[in-house]
Each structure stands twice: as C-alpha cells, then as structure tokens.
Structure 1
C-alpha cells in the first residue's frame, strides 16, 4: 500500500506501535468480512485467559466486576467504556480506538466521539488507535494486517505509559497474533483455500482427460 492509511490520518504520531500480519488463503472481500464480523470474545488462548483474569483482578477486589457481554464485535464498541469505531474504508480498512489512562490498575476511560478522537489532546490521557486492513497478495491470497498505535497527551502520561508498555507489550503482541489467526480461520472457511486450489490444479501426468 502506497497511499496513506486511515490509521495514519487518525494518529500520525505514536509513542508505541505494533503490527502483526498473516497471509490468508481467501480473497480480500472474504477476509475483510471476517475481520469486520469478528467477535473478539472468540479469540482464546491459555495465556490470553490468564492475562484477562489478571487485568480484571483490581475491579473484582473492589467488588465492581460485571458479567461479560455475550459478544463483542466492532458494532458493539459503543457499549464498551471508552471504545469507539473511529472510521472505515469499506472493504479495505477499519479503525477503532479508545481514550483512557491505561497504565492504572483500574483503567479510567474517557468517552469521546469519532469526530473528536483524532484531535483530542487533553493532558493526562492516552489514546489507542487500532485497525484491520487487507491487501491483495497474489492471485489467491490476502495479506491481513492488525496494527495498534498508542499516543499520550503530555510528558508525565508518556512516562507512565512507557513503563506500563514495557510490561504488557509481549501480551499485546500475543493477543494480536491470536486475533489475526482467528480471522484467518473464518475467512478461509468462507471461500476457496490455497489447499483447495492446489488440489484442483494437481492432475496426475498419466491421467487422460475426456
């Protein structure tokens, strides 16, 4: 991709940036639909389960734990504290994000609208912008990317976030890899896979076609 990505327009500068990619044996349209329809609650690994349990421990100790939602798709972001759907280039890229103080044991969220997100710079806060994007990769494949950017709004918040980021970065990378793996499985179930294409193309040399 040579044009500026939507996530770059929303957050040109980042204090932390991480991206993961995977090659999907499906067309871009099917891959994008799978990413757009992802239920984040279906992304499961043993490490992720432990990490989420630990992240929710402070709230449970305060007696504020709540039942998890039945599902969590991009359309459901508005029901999550701080999170929102920021923008979309249909069929190519979708951006979602949040404003909060992520480095605190109990996250303090700040609700803003999609039109406010890019320009929000009130001191004391951090912003996350994440995206799913797809690009054609040869004739039968798609390159699926998941990028996450974080920026803070003042030096003190930046120092706090960087200490926090040093600790959680491996877990974030693990979650992102598990997420694209989940999307990949769904996308490949929606259309022809590379294995199917290869099998169809493999004709024995001594076979006589009618």
Structure 2
C-alpha cells in the first residue's frame, strides 16, 4: 500500500526568489553549525557585513565599508528567525563591477543600462538536535538581455573573492553562534 502523498505541499516562498527571481549567476555556501537555529539566526543577524572593514570585501564591492549611507548593500527582506535578504545594483566596467546603493523600493525596477543586480540571503534550517544548517546564497542578474556574456568573465574572475567572502561570513556566524551556544 502506498501511503505517500501524491502531491507535496509547497513550502513558503524563498525571499531571495522574491528579491531576484531571474538571475544568471549564483553561488551557494553552507555550514553545519553546532548551535540551535535561533542562536545561529541571531549570529547571522548580528553579523555586521555592512560596516565590517575587510580589504577583500571592499575590493569585491568597490566601496568604503565605513560609511553606511554609501554602502552598496541594503536590506530587501527578512523572515525573523529564519531568513535575511540584502542586495544592491551596479554598473559593469571592465575589469570590475562598480556596486552602488539601490534603495529597497527602487531595487525591483533597477534597470540601469549596462547594470547588474546582486541579491544574497542567509537562511537557517534546523539540522538535528541543537544543530543548524546555515546557507548563504548570492545571485547576480544583468539588466540587458544577452549582456551576461560580457559579464561572465568578470564574475568568473571575481567569484574566488566572492567565495572567500561567503565562507568568511559563514565562519564568523559559526564562531559567534557556537560561542553563544556554549555560554548558555
């Protein structure tokens, strides 16, 4: 007898899908963290990616990390306790993408010629007893059809740096969450 449901219930929509549903480039990193999901979420929420001084992050975003008003990244959505989404826009200039701040209300319609949009999400999943799976996904979309061919070499060349930023953020979240978990 087959007791499996014939149709699986759909989950809640992913905020990253809402922020940037169509994209050409994506990176995903994850880590299993020895802490409860609420502790991991708190560590991800408290991670100050916007004001953290890092030469690599500054190079990757082509911005000064100290001036929050000049930050190219803005909050695009949050499901408290589970998901945080942020993003920005930029102009593609060889050999870099010059990211700039695009306010949340302007983000969906950002269509600057020769531009690109980036969105990223931290998502926390329960993963056994007092463990969590933390994911960090980034997506990039070009504003002009076919422009991805010109952007691909820039993103491929930059992705090792992006990967380092992704992994560094996950390590910082892991360290903070496991320290917090150990102190409770």
Q: TM-score range by the shorter chain?
A: 0.7 to 0.9
Q: How many pairs were matched up?
A: 173
1:3-18 pair list within 5 angstroms: 3-18=12-27
Q: Deviation of residue 24 (structure 1)?
A: 0.8
User: Structure 2 CA distance, aligned partners of 1:102 and 1:176?
Assistant: 21
Deviations 1:118-158 (A, max 9, x none): 23334321000011110111121011010000001113642
With over 3 angstroms needed to count, the CA separation of the structure-2 counterparts of 1:81 and 1:168, relative to structure 1, is same
* Residue 125 of structure 1: aligned partner: 115
Residue from 127, 131, 136 that aligns with 1:141: 131
Q: Which has the larger radius of gyration?
A: 1
User: Structure 2 CA distance, aligned partners of 1:124 and 1:43?
Assistant: 28
Deviations 1:22-50 (A, max 9, x none): 01111111111101111336687xxxx5x
More off after superposition, 27-36 vs 156-165: 156-165
8 Å CA contact 1:35, 1:132 repeated in 2: yes
* Residue 203 of structure 1: aligned partner: none
- Larger strand proportion, structure 1 or 2? 2
* Residue 180 of structure 1: aligned partner: 170
Q: Give the alignment's TM-score, normalised by structure 2.
A: 0.80
Q: Deviation of residue 161 (structure 1)?
A: 1.4
* Residue 92 of structure 1: aligned partner: 82
Which 5+ residue runs of structure 2 have no aligned equivalent? Answer: 1-9
Residue from 47, 50, 59 that aligns with 1:38: 47
Q: Deviation of residue 184 (structure 1)?
A: 0.3
With over 3 angstroms needed to count, the CA separation of the structure-2 counterparts of 1:104 and 1:82, relative to structure 1, is farther
Deviations 1:53-77 (A, max 9, x none): 8x38xx8xxxxx96x52xxxxxx8x
8 Å CA contact 1:20, 1:176 repeated in 2: yes
